[in-house]
Amino acid sequence: MTTPTRPSRPAPRILDPVSRVQFLPGVGPLRAQNFERLGIMTLEHLVRHYPREWLDASRFVPVKDLHPGGLLTVVGEVTQAAALRTRGGRGDFAITVKDATGILSCYFFGQSFLSRTLRTGTKVVVSGEYDALDRRMLNPMFEVVEGDLEQLLHAGRLVPVHGLTKGVTARGMRSAVRHALEAIADQVADTVPPEVAAAHDLMALGDALRAIHFPENEAARVAARKRLAFEELFQLQMVMELRRRVLTEEGRALAIAASGALESRVRETLPFHLTADQDAAVADVARDLSLPRPMHRLVIGDVGSGKTVVALLAATHAIETGHQVAFMAPTEVLARQHAATLARFATPAGIEVASITGSSPAAARRLLQARLLAGEPLLVVGTHALLEDKLQMPQLALAIVDEQHRFGVKQRATLAKKGVLPHVLVLTATPIPRTLQLAWFGDLDVSMIRARPAGRGRMVTRVTDEAKFPQVVEFMSRELAAGRQAFVVVPAIEEGRMELRAAQSELERLRAQPLLRAYQVGLLHGRMKSDEKQAVMDAFTKREIHVLVATTVIEVGVDIPNATLMVVENAERFGLTQLHQLRGRVGRGEHRSVCVFIGGAGITALGRKRLDVIATTEDGFKLAEADLELRGPGEMWGTRQAGLPRLKLADLWRDEELLMAARAAAHGVAKEDPQLMRAEHTALRQTLLREYREPLELALAG
Ligand code: ADP
Ligand code: MG
């Protein structure tokens, strides 16, 4: 065998935070591709790839004191090493490690390649759980030590657990991170300005980066996490602050000074009195509208709490002063329903409600457009898409956005006319806990509607399983006999065909029930054309259809007070908040309503627990918190939803205090230097522009 000549070592590179990971010792261009799958291109990415958790393997014991329970670490010398082949052909590896007090066996499944590393005579640190029965450690973490123990990466310390991918081992990741830290930790630009760091007594960024990966002890880890979480929250709050400053600049909106006469007239046509929360929300909005800065207000109210009428009363202020109002619904069905409801209350007071949908005839659309261009003060109801792109509203003063959490800056800009921004009122039934409001909606003002209108019938929620379907049908037939109506919701397993099939077979199953023979069962699903959907909704409203089988197209906003029974099949497939939304489709009239969640055959214990949670509370806020606890903030509360990058370390449940501090700091910085032009804010400006470009478009564009 000939030894190939070693290529001469490349000259050592000067590395900086934007150097590619391939230049790290032990990585190279090929392995670098594996890192890229984790989004790690540069050394800064690598040092920002924080561990998911840390294993505490920092308890060193002599071999004689080994005991089961918890991670223990032994330092010793390898006295025997053997690669073994099992009958099944797996290559295992076993060693013994000796210290002054005794000998420990270690066994590594399927890792015969370790024979190259763990040779007899090697000094080694092993960390693992001691199995007293077999008197050994199974697959322990280990590290070969040459010098002192302070340099340990893989054992005998708080061992970081990083997110990995194929081709990047835990050990490979740790040493790459260690090399990157050595090369650039102190060069990473700190986005927290020096004055903020000083005021909050923050440790240096480089120290925090080192300590988050390889903390000396738990206290160091906690301190580093806090420092880096602060940085995340600070950036997020800077985005909110800057955006808020631009969006609410004086003079960027029309001040609407209505007398309130039109509002009073509409109130007289209402068949009910507003609740105190509704009144307060209307007052909040009227106050915002009277100022020359654009309103950006979120009305959060549980399903059925009566947000629509709040929006209508807000609209009266714009109409009274001769302006136009856009009311944007998420779907055409809802747009039409809103148009009908609003017209019922608004027309008697002399407000004209115009509705526009994708299926409106071209002639009607042209006529409406002409009237809008002529400046007529109309309340126009339509879908987001239509009102944003298709229709020009030169006198638009107020945009009402129904059931969408975030109305983006971009959308506002499209509605804006020559730099004058419309006031925006967002209605949502999704309860958003306080810390999340601050973190993700920090640039919005919030009005809460907590109490449900009085005079609503009782609501009962039951959780059951498929075996009880006959009883459910029997109950349904009694409700129908009493003149009520029912929804049956099936999950959209997949978009498209599967969804259709699930809904279709449910429809057939119900139609086949002798007890339901006298009743009409209708079907509503996502693949229907909008006029077909509308025809079905109309028939349901007119009580020509008694039972409506639907996929979740009915989820938000549908208002049929005569419907008193909601049956949800395979309920475990829905999120708690979604189920709560569905439940909100009933209980809108004076009659008692019942909601039945049927768990599917494949329901897990956790799934069952979630359904039990929803059966025991009707408070949407409590449910949102329970959902968060059970599922974690990732999915439904994800920053993704708000178009913002993910928080890696900050935890909005535990870090409220830190959030408040970051918020105050961001407020201070934005006030002093709103364009972030000062030298000490350069890193912050650059990072924000890179990471948060879209949400900041308007704020830092100049
Ligand atoms: P959501 O907040 O879910 O959008 P809606 O605005 O659709 O709720 O209102 C639900 C129902 O409650 C509607 O039929 C509405 O007319 C009615 N409603 C609203 N406010 C009151 C009130 N203060 N008293 C009685 N009924 C009300
Ligand atoms: Mg609504």
Answer whether 453 contacts ligand 1 (Cβ < 6 A).
yes
Give me the pLDDT at residue 409, please.
53
Give me the pLDDT at residue 626, please.
73
> Could you tell me which residues come within 8 angstroms of residue 418 by beta carbon, excluding any fewer than 6 positions away?
none
Better-scored residue on pLDDT, 51 or 619? 51
Which value, to the nearest 10 degrees, does the dihedral of the CA atoms of residues 115, 117, 121, 122 take? -150
Answer whether 580 contacts ligand 1 (Cβ < 6 A).
no
What own/partner pairs with CB < 8 Å and gap ≥ 24 does 629-638 have? 630/576, 630/606, 631/575, 633/436, 635/575, 636/575, 636/577, 637/432, 637/436, 637/440
548/455 Cα distance (integer angstroms): 25
Structure tokens at 665: 């700091």
342/439 Cα distance (integer angstroms): 34
307 CA distance to ligand 2 centroid (A)? 6
> Could you tell me which residues come within 8 angstroms of residue 632 by beta carbon, excluding any fewer than 6 positions away?
none
29/83 Cα distance (integer angstroms): 32
Answer whether 301 contacts ligand 1 (Cβ < 6 A).
yes
Ligand at minimal distance from the CA of 584 is: 1
Q: What is the mean pLDDT of residues 87-106?
A: 94
Ligand at minimal distance from the CA of 588 is: 1
79/99 Cα distance (integer angstroms): 10
Share of the chain above pLDDT 90, in %: 53
- 313, 341, 401, 559: which to mutate for ligand 1, most atoms within 8 A of CB? 559
419 to each of 161, 251, 422, how far by Cα in Å? 50, 10, 10
Answer whether 303 contacts ligand 1 (Cβ < 6 A).
yes
Q: What is the mean pLDDT of residues 574-600?
A: 85
Better-scored residue on pLDDT, 608 or 358? 608
Please identify, by atom number, the ligand 1 atom nearest to the C-alpha of residue 402: 4
Answer whether 272 contacts ligand 1 (Cβ < 6 A).
yes
307 CA distance to ligand 1 centroid (A)? 7
351 CA distance to ligand 2 centroid (A)? 20
309 CA distance to ligand 1 centroid (A)? 7
Q: Whose CA is nearest to atom 4 of ligand 1?
A: 307
Ligand at minimal distance from the CA of 450 is: 1
452 CA distance to ligand 1 centroid (A)? 8
Structure tokens at 634: 């990732």
Q: Whose CA is nearest to atom 5 of ligand 1?
A: 306
The pairing of beta strand 485-489 with beta strand 563-568: parallel
38/169 Cα distance (integer angstroms): 13
Q: Give me the domains of the chain, ranges plus CATH numbers.
A: 57-157 (2.40.50.140), 276-291+306-428 (3.40.50.300), 459-636 (3.40.50.300)
Q: What is the pLDDT of residues 226-265, one digit of tens each?
A: 999 999 999 989 988 887 777 777 777 889 999 999 999 9
266/605 Cα distance (integer angstroms): 50
536/528 Cα distance (integer angstroms): 10
What burial class does residue 106 get, using C-beta atoms within 10 Å of its C-beta: 0-12 exposed, 13-18 middle, 19+ buried?
buried
Element (H, E) at 136: strand 136-138
Task: Say if residue 174's pLDDT is above 70.
Answer: yes
Answer whether 559 contacts ligand 1 (Cβ < 6 A).
yes
Tokens 């077979």 belong to residue: 505
Helix axes 620-631, 576-583, angle to 10 degrees: 160
Please identify, by atom number, the ligand 1 atom nearest to the C-alpha of residue 308: 6
Asked which of 131-145, 205-219, 236-250, 278-292 is least confident by mean pLDDT, the reply is: 236-250
Give me the pLDDT at residue 375, please.
93
Q: What is the mean pLDDT of residues 604-631?
A: 79
Question: How would you list the strands of the sheet with 130-131, edge to edge?
Answer: 130-131, 136-138, 102-108, 91-99, 72-85, 123-128, 141-144
Answer whether 275 contacts ligand 1 (Cβ < 6 A).
yes
What burial class does residue 430 get, using C-beta atoms within 10 Å of its C-beta: 0-12 exposed, 13-18 middle, 19+ buried?
buried
Q: Phi and psi of 393, rounded to 5°? A: -125, 85
Ligand at minimal distance from the CA of 305 is: 1
> Could you tell me which residues come within 8 angstroms of residue 467 by beta carbon, excluding any fewer than 6 positions away?
none
Q: What secondary structure, in 3-state letters, does 191-220 show? A: CCCHHHHHHCCCCCHHHHHHHHHCCCCHHH
- 308, 334, 449: which to mutate for ligand 1, most atoms within 8 A of CB? 308
CB 490 within 8 A of CB 553: no
What burial class does residue 589 get, using C-beta atoms within 10 Å of its C-beta: 0-12 exposed, 13-18 middle, 19+ buried?
middle
Answer whether 422 contacts ligand 1 (Cβ < 6 A).
no
Q: What is the mean pLDDT of residues 525-534?
A: 82
Tokens 């065909």 belong to residue: 497
Ligand at minimal distance from the CA of 306 is: 1
315 CA distance to ligand 1 centroid (A)? 16
559 CA distance to ligand 2 centroid (A)? 8
Ligand 2 (ion): residues with CB under 5 Å are: 557
417/373 Cα distance (integer angstroms): 13
Task: Say if residue 447's pLDDT is above 80.
Answer: yes
Q: Whose CA is nearest to atom 15 of ligand 1?
A: 306
Mean pLDDT of the chain: 86
Task: Say if residue 589's pLDDT is above 90.
Answer: no
247/259 Cα distance (integer angstroms): 26
> Could you tell me which residues come within 8 angstroms of residue 39 by beta carbon, excluding any fewer than 6 positions away?
45
Ligand at minimal distance from the CA of 330 is: 2
Nearest one of 444, 426, 448 to 624, comparing CA atoms: 448
107 CA distance to ligand 2 centroid (A)? 62
228/649 Cα distance (integer angstroms): 7
Cα 674 off chain centre by: 28
Ligand at minimal distance from the CA of 341 is: 1
Q: Whose CA is nearest to atom 13 of ligand 1?
A: 306
Query: What DSSP string runs through 270-292?
Result: -SSPPPHHHHHHHHHHHHHHTSS
278 CA distance to ligand 1 centroid (A)? 10
Task: Say if residue 638's pLDDT is above 50.
Answer: no
Q: Phi and psi of 449, rounded to 5°? A: -115, 105
Give me the pLDDT at residue 697, please.
60
CB 35 within 8 A of CB 99: no
- 269, 275, 305: which to mutate for ligand 1, most atoms within 8 A of CB? 305
> Could you tell me which residues come within 8 angstroms of residue 480 by beta carbon, excluding any fewer than 6 positions away?
486, 516, 518, 519, 546, 547
Q: Whose CA is nearest to atom 26 of ligand 1?
A: 453
| pTM given for the model | 0.69
CB 686 within 8 A of CB 190: no
Q: What is the pLDDT of residues 457-511, one digit of tens each?
A: 788 999 999 899 999 999 999 999 999 999 999 886 555 555 567 788 899 999 9
> Could you tell me which residues come within 8 angstroms of residue 270 by beta carbon, excluding any fewer than 6 positions away?
309, 345
The pairing of beta strand 102-108 with beta strand 379-383: unpaired
Task: Say if residue 1's pLDDT is above 50.
Answer: no
Q: What secondary structure, in 3-state letters, does 627-684 show? A: HHHHHCCHHHHCHHHHCCCCCCCCCCCCCHHHHHHHHHHHHHHHHHCCCCCCHHHHHH
333/402 Cα distance (integer angstroms): 13
Residue type, position 640, single letter: R
Through-space distance between the first and last CA atoms of the chain, rounded to whole angstroms: 67
Task: Say if residue 195's pLDDT is above 70.
Answer: yes
